[in-house]
Structure 1
Amino acid sequence: MNVEQTESGAAGRFIVFEGGDGAGKSTHVRLLVASLRAAGLRVLETRQPGGSPLGQQIRDLVLHGGDITPRAEALLFAADKAQHVEEVVRPALARGEIVVSDRYVDSSVAYQGAGRDLGADEVERVQEWAVAGLHPDLTVVIDIAPEEGRRRRGGEHDRMEREADDFHAAIRAHFLRVAAAAPGRYIVVDGMGDRAVIHANIVAAVGDRLGLTLEPVAKP
């Protein structure tokens, strides 16, 4: 559980969605947020990179800018996280809110550590320093094959999405590996199939893990 607390002692919750490009993270973040709000809970929806004004500038640079070396890329993502956690995430948790983020530290470790082959342990140390050790209460990994992600993305690709399938395969393998190593902190959801069914599975798992009474908002 996060240590961020309100004056009354009510702790916020921090939920993160991870997975490869095209997995449907953004869609399922929005649907879970709607379920949480329908239950009367206070929720902050955010993303990395881009969850702060500085982060949006970094997002534009790393996803749509020119050539960036792998180490510079990793450091830019770390800068986004440092600003985002200090300016957005910790204050919301301190207010007792549920924070739902589209990507967090695991994405940087997967993309730059595994995908760019910089070394997962080294990249994780940098990212952990950037967020001052703030861990999610729960991470939802939406799993799809790289070729399915490419099919879903169609003809529009940012710098990351344009990488070859072996890059995305390394990322997928990393997410599955860390989730298997810490089942108490992660749930893995099959990203194939009907959106409403995937959403219902996520809502049930999140409610069970965090002790919340939730109902799906997307119907079959």
Structure 2
Amino acid sequence: MKTIAALVLALASVGAQADVVITNTFNGTGIQPLGEPDTTTYGEVFTTPDAINTVLDSFSLILQSLNASTSQLYAGVATWVNGGAGTSLFTSSVFSGNFTDWTEVVIGTGGLSLTPGQQYVAFFSASGLFDGSNALVQVGLSDDANTLGMSWDNANGGSPLHPNWNGCQACSYQLAGTMEFSNPGNQVPEPGSMALLGLGLLGAAAARRRSPAKARVPEQV
């Protein structure tokens, strides 16, 4: 099977070493569709792993395109209150791609401080990016239960902070992906940001369906 990998776009000037990595292992299946004209947003509800490792450094979801169109998406993190997204805490840059094979898209948050016990949702959204072209992806699922469950918003272009998401919290579905957390005391300054030299595809390589390629999206600084 061919894989697609994107060059690293940028590195944040401040980083951290993850102390806790939470992984929902990809089971080779997906839920669909994400994007125009149907479902605006898919997200995974979660809490911090403990009261010490409260900084979310990165998270990922696994995508595969359903047609030949290029999808435009962005990622975010918001509080989760009464079955819906509340206050927005982080929004990534818009990223685009046609994911011909399952691809893990990794989002660097730059180090997002969270509150233990509070529920949050990490999501990918096409909100505000509908342009009349049906660019759809499916999102990888997991049989694990390391986070609280998947939710989605069928607002058909509405805000990812739509107050009444359709879907469920702590349901039988889990989105596949990884969350990396660290202790606030482990934030380590780096010498500086690396400039983007170019964007393109790396070579195609053989891979199994359960081992998606990774693409990294710029961290917000």
Q: TM-score range by the shorter chain?
A: under 0.3
Compare relative contact order (CA 8 Å, sep 6+) and give the higher one, 1 or 2: 2
**Bigger fraction of residues in helix:** 1
**Bigger fraction of residues in strand:** 2
